[in-house]
Chain A
Amino acid sequence: AQSVAQPEDQVNVAEGNPLTVKCTYSVSGNPYLFWYVQYPNRGLQFLLKYITGDNLVKGSYGFEAEFNKSQTSFHLKKPSALVSDSALYFCAVRINFNKFYFGSGTKLNVKP
């Protein structure tokens, strides 16, 4: 079965410290992977996507994601967290061009 998993419901980090939000996937064929962010009472906003061949993908707001084929992971990272990064983060995988499966989401709390 094709799926995506986010093992942490919540991640806490101090402002200025690096952050990592984890995502693992299970798909057949080439993975089409995405990260989205959701602020309270808003829809999901696209952050970045995996491009075949680039193991480190850069996206919006200073975020990047590291693709690891052997570990089937696509972890979201940022070198220095901001309080304004506090939000709900979703990893997603696209299947068959027209279906997306989302992880259960990870709440990121950045404390001053």
Chain B
Amino acid sequence: NAGVTQTPKFRVLKTGQSMTLLCAQDMNHEYMYWYRQDPGMGLRLIHYSVGEGTTAKGEVPDGYNVSRLKKQNFLLGLESAAPSQTSVYFCASSYLPDRGNSNQPQHFGDGTRLSIL
């Protein structure tokens, strides 16, 4: 059981380049999230998905796009990378809250460290 797997672990880009970060989970979770972590700012939600084929904006969505074509995968795209997008990106997933357990925690991957030069 791998949990939440993020690829790649590290990447260096030049300004203007594009790339896609991949998140895969094997826990059959309905919800998936993308966060960025910057020093002193905690985690900020970029985009999230409540199910296959659906996505929604979080706190800081500008400059990013996402897709969830399969339940187990959540992709984060940077169309034209900017130095301000230098950060550590975390993917997380969780079960759908239900009547029996409405307080489901999130499970996190180990992050992708992205530098934009």
Q: Which residues of A contact B100 (CB under 8 A)?
A: none
Contact of A98 among B31, B43, B44, B111 (CB under 8 A): B31
Within 8 A of A (CB), among B17-38: 31, 33, 35
**Is A32 in contact with B103, judged by CB distance below 8 angstroms?**
yes
Q: Does B53 belong to the interface (CB within 8 Å)? A: no
**Is A90 in contact with B31, judged by CB distance below 8 angstroms?**
no
- Within the complex, what minimum Cβ distance (angstroms) separates A91 from chain B? 9
Dominant secondary structure of chain A at its interface with chain B? strand
Q: Does A27 belong to the interface (CB within 8 Å)? A: no
**Is A41 in contact with B105, judged by CB distance below 8 angstroms?**
no
Residue of A nearest to B111 (CB): A43
State which size class the interface on A falls in. Answer: 20 to 34
Q: Which residues of B contact A41 (CB under 8 A)?
A: 110-111
Instruction: Indicate whether A50 sits within 8 Å of B103 (C-beta atoms), given known contacts A90-B43, A99-B58, A104-B40.
Output: yes
A32 vs B109: C-alpha distance in the bound complex, in angstroms?
22
Q: Which residues of B contact A42 (CB under 8 A)?
A: 110-111
Instruction: Indicate whether A44 sits within 8 Å of B108 (C-beta atoms), given known contacts A49-B103, A97-B97.
Output: yes
Contact of B105 among A46, A98, A103 (CB under 8 A): A46
Q: Which 9 A-B pairs have the closest CB atoms?
A: A43-B108, A46-B105, A102-B42, A102-B43, A104-B42, A44-B108, A43-B110, A97-B97, A32-B103
Question: Can you list 22 residue pairs at the A/B interface with Cβ under 8 Å?
Answer: A34-B106, A36-B108, A41-B111, A43-B92, A43-B109, A44-B90, A44-B108, A45-B108, A46-B107, A49-B105, A51-B103, A94-B103, A97-B97, A98-B50, A98-B56, A99-B48, A100-B45, A101-B45, A102-B43, A103-B42, A104-B40, A105-B40
Residues of chain B having any CB pair with chain A under 8 Å: 4, 31, 33, 35, 40-45, 48, 50, 56, 58, 90, 92, 97, 102-103, 105-111
20 extra A-B contacts, CB within 8 A, seeds A49-B105, A97-B97, A102-B44:
A9-B40, A34-B105, A36-B108, A42-B110, A43-B90, A43-B92, A43-B108, A44-B90, A44-B108, A46-B106, A46-B107, A50-B103, A94-B103, A98-B31, A98-B50, A99-B58, A101-B45, A102-B42, A103-B42, A105-B40
